[in-house]
Amino acid sequence: ATEQVIAQVAEGDEADVQLAVEAARKAFDTGDWPKMDARDRGMLLFRLADLIEKNIDEIAALETLDNGKPISDSRNVDLPLVIDCYRYYAGWADKNHGKTIPIRGNYHCYTRHEPLGVAGQIIPWNFPLLMQAWKWAPALAAGCTSVLKTAEQTPLSALRIGELAMEAGFPKGVVNIISGFGPTAGAALVKHPGVDKIAFTGHFETAQIIMKEAAKTIKRVTFELGGKSPNVIFADADLDAAVEGAYIGLYLNQGQCCCAGSRVFVEESIHDEFIEKMIAMAKDRKLGDPFDPSTEQGPQVDKDQFDKIMSFIQKGKDQGATCAMGGERAADNGYYIQPTLFTDVSDDMSIATDEIFGPVMSVLKFKDYNEAIERANSTFYGLAAAVWTRDVKKAHSFAAAVRAGTIWVNCYDVFDAAAPFGGYKMSGI
């Protein structure tokens, strides 16, 4: 927001990863954690959720200070989802049921679900607290121990949650947090033979490196890697609702969402009206001090991200798209970018193929249902998609035909701890 340094954070490296893994390994192999009554593990997660709720204003302020997102989003969007996630998985802790299986002969065969071991977890900077919750809550509920590496851009809120975990009473060594960079701390975590599984959220190119390194020790991996999600609006849709949904689906969190609806396909007959309504809505979007409760859009997370987004905006202009709104820096100080909208976008332009991770919407015309399906699928990503229509048959056939993990129908960015989240193709495992 100001381009000023707010804190100094110790940089963890291979030596620190070694200590953290040793602590997590000891807590798992010889400690009480995996042998603890599952309901008691759940109670610790409930207690952590209660402490986060008790300190919600402080933690929301820390998230806004660290990430730049508006305080209203940190306090009223991110933190409620964080608390809900911990409570949801706390309830699952004692519900890992096995099976009895009839087999031939005079034998008794059964399966049991056992914790995997030490989970190495690497999170991104766009939703730091929520990504920590998504990594910690299921692993801890299962009885695993964790070594979590924060994003170098946003280490602060995770460290505060670590303090609250200690206050909640998690045993020594169960949760470990490393602040550091990917090539050093992240790489050491992936390579460590004492780590049983790597869970990573971030860019697919990093995941490719992790997957290759994890193969050497046959680690299990899960990846959530972003997308170029199609948001398809048919002429029979409630247009005002679709405009509002597309607005949230792209501009939320300064456009820094892995599932952002960054390719908005609009049926030809309503295209111009959609553009008119979207510009009218987005031009009133309030940018400013992220600690002002009325601010709707804060700065991008750092200068690198700011420069990357501005370079994509320039590519859009150079490749022949029409910048119908925004496209410029929005303030003399701070990494603010105007809400931006491109029309006359073709499928082969960089702004239509690459994940920008910023407030840049690309609007593409289409003629009919079959064209919409084909073009929606013409991406190597497959994280999310949305369809806007009053025709329920069309909605369900679209959901079946589009290769994406989450399909929203007449809505966007609806999240719940009980709903799976993941995708096809380069969007992850």
**Alpha-carbon gap, residue 236 to 8, rounded angstroms:** 53
Assigned token pair, 187: 């790489």
Catalytic residue among 258, 259, 323, 355: 258
Q: Is 199 helix (H, G, I), strand (E, B) or coil?
A: strand
Return the C-alpha torsion angle 52, 420, 96, 124, nearest 10.
Answer: -50
Report the DSSP pairing between strands 384-388 and 230-233: parallel
Cα–Cα distance for residue pair 349/396, rounded to 1 Å:
29
Which is catalytic among the residues 63, 85, 144, 224? 224
Give me the DSSP letters along 297-319. Answer: B---SSHHHHHHHHHHHHHHHHT
Both tokens of 83, joined, read 């608390």
Catalytic residue status for 258: yes
Residue 284 to residue 268: CA distance in whole angstroms: 26
144 tagged catalytic: no
Residue 242's Cβ-side half-sphere holds a number of Cα atoms within 13 Å equal to: 26
Q: Is 347 exposed, middle or buried (0-12, 13-18, 19+ CB in 10 A)?
A: middle
Amino acid identity of residue 369, one-letter, is: Y
Cα–Cα distances in angstroms (integers) from residue 256 to residues 179, 259, 301, in the given order: 21, 9, 9
Structure token digits, residue 119? 């989970």
In 123-262, the DSSP E strands lie at: 145-150, 175-179, 197-201, 220-224, 230-233
Catalytic residues: 224, 258
